[in-house]
Amino acid sequence: MIDPATFLDSIRKQGVNYYVGVPDSLLKDLCAYLGENVDQERHVISANEGNAVGLAAGWYLGSGQPAMVYMQNSGIGNSFNPLVSLADPEVYSIPMVLVVGWRGAPGTKDEPQHMKQGRIMTSLLDALEIPYFIMDGMTDVDAKISDACASMYRRMAPVVILIMPGAFAHQTSLRKKGEEYQVSREDAMKAVVSCLSPQDVVVSTTGKLSRELYEHRRREGASECRDFLTVGSMGHASSIAMALSSALADRKVICLDGDASVIMHMGSMATIGQKAPGNLVHIVLNNGSHESVGGQPTVGFSIDFVGIAKSCGYRDAVSVHDIDGIIGAMARFLDAIGPSFLEIRVSMKARSDLGRPVETPVENRKAFMRACGSDTRR
């Protein structure tokens, strides 16, 4: 297996000493090492993958040195535009090393939302005309990184290192977030759900939150599926919920979101505020971390979500951190004209035995549409 320190030393030997990206479960040990051993001025956890490419471009323009950009392959789509219209050799010709966790790689088992992305990964890179180098736990790290960076410098353009599952050796992170808040995300979610009526519908964001909601509904013996589990598409749950609230104007629509998801595509809040769907309640369970992929920090505890929501045009917005606060805010919002915004500050605590939905995403979509009365087509 690859020692993260060895990997980073090899990258540094090639003149790359600025690191930006979005955390990924396959890269969590590398991310942990970066978080513990790299000065914060040289390591930026970015809002999204396109943002990371922009940061890498800015670093090169100011320093003359390429940067390393890390991400999960599901986030490569966010980076397409700046890769092609900014860093490409036919535009500004900006070198950078993209270290990409290859979820759903052929021959591996993974969640449904990763399988197609994994299967088409190399075809996408071929279409983008970006050279790629595959690395697993048995790879000669120095040789592979040397080859990748030689290609980067020769072309003066981005290259990709695809990281196979299980490639990195375990790296313990000492960084802990969210311990000042006692309520877990799961208990906060349960408190929210306990306030809902049988007509209310829920859109939940990707990651452990949707898995916790799914298991809670099964334990409660829910007779129909009123939850759309957004297993992929990080950052887009609120957009789904906004359009859903327009289609289901006679129902309350609850969006269960995460701090990292909101930050990734925060522009959707401005659209929600301006369109002002009166039946939408947007809830952010903020644990200040990318907890589902390793616990790397976000800026969630450093920004004013409530102030942002109000400035975007939400009719009401509050922040709470305990069960009584959740129940009080929900009673207020469910009886009011929205859009309403609720930040719930929670801990990073999560169950180690958390399962996954047994139904496929298509089965979830069909059941949800049946419950909404919108299943007029296949």
d(C-alpha 127, C-alpha 130), whole Å: 8
Number of domains in the chain: 2
Please report the pLDDT score of residue 96 as a whole number: 98
Element containing residue 58 per DSSP (H, E): helix 49-63
The tokens describing 311, both together, are 């400035």
Please report the pLDDT score of residue 173 as a whole number: 63
Please report the pLDDT score of residue 178 as a whole number: 47
Residue 154 and residue 209 in one domain: no
Please report the pLDDT score of residue 322 as a whole number: 96
Residue 212 and residue 328 in one domain: yes
Average pLDDT across each block of 10 residues of the chain; the chain has 378 residues. List them in order. 95 97 94 92 95 98 97 93 97 98 92 90 96 95 97 98 93 61 96 96 95 94 91 94 96 97 96 97 95 87 97 98 97 96 94 90 94 79
Please report the pLDDT score of residue 172 as a whole number: 72
- Whether 89 maps to a domain, the answer reads yes
DSSP assigned state of 338: S
How many C-beta atoms surround the C-beta of residue 351 within 10 A? Answer: 12
Residue 116 and residue 48 in one domain: yes
d(C-alpha 287, C-alpha 75), whole Å: 21
310 by Cβ neighbours in 10 Å (0-12 / 13-18 / 19+) ranks as middle
Between helices 237-247 and 267-275, what is the axis angle to 10°?
Answer: 20
Element containing residue 204 per DSSP (H, E): strand 201-204
The long-range contacts involving 87-92, CB below 8 angstroms and separated by at least 24 positions, are: 87/53, 87/56, 87/57, 87/157, 87/158, 88/129, 88/157, 88/158, 89/155, 89/156, 89/157, 92/57
Q: Which of 334, 300, 301 has the alpha carbon at shortest distance from 316?
A: 334
Question: Are 163 and 100 in contact, with CB atoms under 8 Å apart?
Answer: yes
373 by Cβ neighbours in 10 Å (0-12 / 13-18 / 19+) ranks as exposed
d(C-alpha 32, C-alpha 43), whole Å: 12
- Whether 173 maps to a domain, the answer reads no
pTM, to two decimals: 0.91
Please report the pLDDT score of residue 110 as a whole number: 87
Residue 351 and residue 224 in one domain: yes
- Whether 85 maps to a domain, the answer reads yes
| Domain with 37 in it | 4-163
What's the Cα-to-Cα distance from 111 to each of 2, 71, 179, 314, rounded to whole Å?
24, 17, 29, 35
Give the domain CATH number at 33: 3.40.50.970
